[in-house]
Amino acid sequence: MATNLSFLLIAAFVLAAGVSAAPSQTAAKPRTAELREAIEEYRVRFNELHQEKDQFLQFARTGLWASVRYMNEDILENLGEVRNTIEYGFDDVRLEISLQIVEGTHNEQCLLDLVYEIVDEKVRLGDELSRCSSTATDAKDSLPESFYEFLNLLQRISTSIAETTLYTFINQNSVSDPERHLEYLREAYEETERSWLEEALPLMQFELDAMEYNRPLIVADNAECLAVIIEQQQSFEDNIRARIPSCE
């Protein structure tokens, strides 16, 4: 009889424990559902943030490309004009020398020596043109280099933003502590948005402004370098023309 009573007491205790445990399992379900809904909400929000940043990065690349293109066009136009001056600027004085040789009224060798001097001067001016071009190229290439590196870094960060929700399952335990998981998602979103607005975007705008500020300066420096070549060409041409009578 005692054995039967003990069995009944144990059975009653187990049944009572099972009944008391049931509400806790039922209560956990809303927390799981809430976590699932919140994770989906943050997944959408992080993805929208990623798309927004991608669009801004594309805008920055377009702005950078346009600034570099305009700078290249201005520099190439100036270089082309000076190249033409070097190539054809001596044509008039060479024609004068040729006419004197044909007429036979001047010392032919003396006149030919003037022509050789013109050829040597054209080579020298061509070297100066290359130096001006190289200096401008180094300046304009170094200007956006750090910006490209910065854009690539931001692109990797932007891409990772879309995967942030998935990454949180690596360092958060949504089963044992779903509240902390939700809090982590909220903190991660707020910090990501803050860092973009307060750090990345101002720095990117600074880089774009620096490009626009330095672009005319680089073009002006190149134009100043080329102006020296123009002056030297004109001065040398005048000198050759003034020496033609000495060959009589």
Q: Could you tell me the CATH number of the domain that includes residue 176?
A: 1.20.1260
Residue 8 resides in a domain: no
Has this prediction a pTM greater than 0.75? Answer: no
Domain count, the chain: 1
Which of 144 and 208 is assigned the larger pLDDT?
208
Least confident segment among 24-28, 155-159, 176-180, 188-192: 24-28
pLDDT tier for residue 18 given thresholds of 50, 70 and 90: very low
Residue 167 resides in a domain: yes
| Residue ranges making up the domain that contains 88 | 31-246
The reported pLDDT for the residue numbered 103 is 87
Residue 182 resides in a domain: yes
For residues 32 and 178, the answer to whether their CB atoms sit within 8 Å is yes
User: Per-residue pLDDT tens for 197-244?
Assistant: 888 788 878 878 888 888 899 999 999 999 999 999 999 999 999 999
pLDDT at 8 over 90: no
Inter-residue long-range contacts of 63-68, CB under 8 Å, 24+ positions, other chains counted: 63/208, 63/211, 64/144, 64/147, 64/148, 64/151, 64/207, 64/208, 64/211, 67/144, 67/208, 67/211, 67/212, 67/215, 68/140, 68/144, 68/211
Where in the chain does DSSP place strands (E)? none
Residue 124 parent element (H or E): helix 108-161
